[in-house]
Amino acid sequence: MNYISTRGSAPVLTFEDTMLSGLARDGGLYVPQAIPALSPDQIAAMEGQSYEQIAFIVMRPFIDDTINDADFRAIIDRAYSVFGHAARAPMVQLEQGHFLLELFHGPTLAFKDFAMQIIGQLFQHVLAKKGERVTIVGATSGDTGSAAVEAFRGLDNVDVFILYPHGRISEVQRRQMTTPQESNVHALALEGDFDDCQARLKDMFNDFDFRDGVRLAGVNSINWARVLAQVVYYFSSAVALGAPGRRVSFTVPTGNFGDIFAGYIAKRMGLPIDKLVVATNQNDILHRCLSGQGYHKGETIPSISPSMDIQISSNFERALFDAYDRDGNAVAQLMDELKAGGFEVSQGAMEVLMDHYASGRASEDQTSAQIKASLAETGELLCPHSAIGVHVADRHRQPGTPMITLATAHPAKFPDAVEAATGVRPPLPPRMADLYERSERLTRVPNDLEALKKHIMDHLQT
Ligand SMILES: *Cc1c(COP(=O)(O)O)cnc(C)c1O
């Protein structure tokens, strides 16, 4: 399988190189040259299979033969063995026709673990084979960083530096990044917001001397391997509800557009998905764009769903690439306009987007009200992100088509917001109950590219 850049002028890469490089050298994101399809029979045969077996069937066509079947099965098994639930991605029913897909049973209690655990194992395998080391630098609004630290801590061939916005993530998120004591992981608290973290990360990737010098690798949601790992639970959940014989819809609490884009890939592979509903918080650039108002960035306003406090939604570029008929020049031009504030989406591209996606938003008050209502009506304690999903999903349900809302984090990861809404403080699962007692290790860093580069070079293991 070959991968091409959304901006049309970076080298074509294999799966392994796509995974190791992250961002393309023309500033674009890598996407598969063609999307492999699964037949209705192949999809029907997933019924009754384990999550790991479904993961193998879905991901295998995207991965080169340089990783053989037996190794790839072992990678998948190791990745999910650390999960706290035998089904990996279990579903519960909220009401008639509405289901909640619980994606928070991994080691850091958010859906990011599904992809990051796979990536950790894949990096380990590929780097050991090549005899190489890399430096991973990631930007996080909270959950990516903790999942990355958990997936890479103590691995031999990787140094990991995570930039997070100082003071803008929850204590559980921070502690999951700052309490691991392995010397190859580094938590960096940046003076700025998440968009600043993401911008400095992009600057490092666009500084080719630095990028090549430290062998920079990215594990942000722009990394294709992460999107790929997330395609799996769209299949496992839809098949459990009767696909391919029955169409389903999904609502996805969205920030960087990685998770919902995985749903789009599932649909392109042949899964009968009716609507993919983008749910945003008050930082609603995607909802405004999908409502026909163009893509114009504003100020990021901190919310009780911090993992969705994003104005520039990186993976949306992948959706635009397909909506503009895979015209890399057109996408490159839009991204230039975005630097100056924003752009309008052409009518043709809007029609393609509306074919696949719908959208909605929840205000802070609506989010809290939903957490409270869901507890009263179903006994489910939702994290604020998942509550936004349920709120928006309720406005997009169609009779006869089951709606699956993705629960993206465990409520205990955001205990203050959940307690404020319900009076109930959700406890951490027993396997991580001592998190608040462990000692922390972090460095405050300025929002400055040169200072960051120096800090990273000074702290490499070799
Ligand atoms: C990352 C995250 C999101 C947003 O997912 P994207 O792939 O960035 O759209 C939503 N909820 C939680 C809890 C997250 O950690």
Q: Please tell me the predicted confidence (pLDDT) of residue 220.
A: 83
Which residue from 35, 9, 129, 7 is spatially nearest to 75, judged by alpha carbons? Answer: 129
Report which ligand 1 atom has the smallest distance to the Cα of 253. 10
User: What does pLDDT average to over the chain?
Assistant: 95
Q: Please tell me the predicted confidence (pLDDT) of residue 179.
A: 96
Q: Please tell me the predicted confidence (pLDDT) of residue 312.
A: 86
Distance from Cα 207 to the centre of ligand 1, integer Å: 27
Instruction: Calculate mean pLDDT across residues 172-186.
Output: 94
Q: Please tell me the predicted confidence (pLDDT) of residue 170.
A: 85
Q: pLDDT digit string (tens) for 408-446?
A: 999 999 999 999 999 999 999 998 889 999 999 999 999
Give yes or no for residue 304 CB within 6 A of ligand 1: no
Is residue 453 scored above 80 in pLDDT? yes
180 close to 186: Cβ distance less than 8 angstroms: no
Instruction: Calculate mean pLDDT across residues 95-109.
Output: 97
H-helix or E-strand containing 173?
A: helix 171-178
Distance from Cα 42 to the centre of ligand 1, integer Å: 29
Q: Please tell me the predicted confidence (pLDDT) of residue 84.
A: 95
386 close to 94: Cβ distance less than 8 angstroms: no
153 close to 184: Cβ distance less than 8 angstroms: yes
Give yes or no for residue 112 CB within 6 A of ligand 1: yes
Identify which of 254, 285, 392, 418 to mutate to test ligand 1's pocket (most ligand atoms within 8 A of the CB).
Answer: 254
- Is residue 135 classed exposed, middle or buried when 0-12, 13-18 and 19+ CB atoms within 10 A define those classes? buried
pTM: 0.94
User: Could you say which DSSP state residue 408 is in?
Assistant: -
Give yes or no for residue 170 CB within 6 A of ligand 1: no
Is residue 63 scored above 90 in pLDDT? yes
Q: pLDDT digit string (tens) for 1-29?
A: 999 999 999 999 999 999 988 789 899 99
Is residue 376 scored above 80 in pLDDT? yes
Q: Please tell me the predicted confidence (pLDDT) of residue 143.
A: 86
One CATH from 2.60.40.1120, 3.40.50.1100, 3.40.50.1980, 3.30.1490.20 for 91-107+224-422:
3.40.50.1100
Main-chain phi, psi angles of 280, to 5 degrees: -120, 160
315 close to 31: Cβ distance less than 8 angstroms: no
Q: pLDDT digit string (tens) for 152-161?
A: 999 989 999 9
Instruction: Calculate mean pLDDT across residues 344-356.
Output: 98
Q: pLDDT digit string (tens) for 203-212?
A: 999 999 999 9
Q: Which amino acid is at 385?
A: H
Tokens (6 digits) for 367:
């989010």
Distance from Cα 238 to the centre of ligand 1, integer Å: 20
H-helix or E-strand containing 165?
A: strand 158-165
Active-site residue 129, yes or no?
no
How far is the C-alpha of 84 from the C-alpha of 104, rounded, in Å?
9
Give yes or no for residue 113 CB within 6 A of ligand 1: no
Q: How large a percentage of the chain has pLDDT more than 70?
A: 100
Is residue 341 scored above 80 in pLDDT? yes
The three-state secondary structure class of 29 is strand
Q: Which amino acid is at 240?
A: A
Q: Please tell me the predicted confidence (pLDDT) of residue 413.
A: 92
Report which ligand 1 atom has the smallest distance to the Cα of 261. 7
According to DSSP, the β-strands at 403-407 and 248-253 are parallel
